[in-house]
Amino acid sequence: MDELSLLSRVSLYVLLALIAILALIIWGWQIMVLRGRAIKNADGSVDDWHEQKIVYGMAFADVFVACPASVAGVVLVFLNPRWGFFLMAMVSFWFVWANIMTTVTSLRFEKPKFTLAWFVAFPFGIFVGLAFIAWTLIHFDKIYLH
């Protein structure tokens, strides 16, 4: 971490902050879904496992695996960078995968209006995840091989 330039550190902190914020929002959102609340998405669809049980599994996995791992990864980058970056590799991959899944489903089946809220709720996580992976590749030697 000490070998990173100022620009590299600032870009890392921005990406980590975005990942942490998104993970915390998803965590809170999915906790409400898991408790049985019907929550409307930015594309007009509704997450309500009473109506569609499919929503329950994803909420459960997000609440107990993906979101805690994301927050733990961000914290560990500062406390134990080796573990932190290793965990963040998996987290960034999950960010891209999960957001591709929700975005393509929304685009094909919900015919959404392309608002800022839709962009933040659906494809934004793909760009954040890809940006973190790109950052990792650029700084690969410094964060993993030193």
Q: Which of 94, 118, 132, 135 is close enough to bind other proteins by CB under 8 A?
A: 94
Min separation Cβ 47 and other proteins, Å: 11
Out of 90, 117, 120, 134, point to the residue binding other proteins (CB under 8 A): 90
Among the candidate windows 6-14, 20-28, 35-43, 97-105, which touches other proteins by CB under 8 A? Answer: 97-105
Backbone angles phi, psi at 39, to 5 degrees: -120, 130
Chosen residue from 2, 6, 7, 53 binding other proteins by CB under 8 A? 53
Which two tokens mark 38?
């019907």
What is the distance of C-alpha 146 from the center of its chain? 27
DSSP state of 108: I
Q: Is 63 in the site for other proteins (CB under 8 A)?
A: no
Which tokens hold the place of 3? 């070998």
How far is 40 from 55, CA to CA, in rounded Å?
Answer: 12
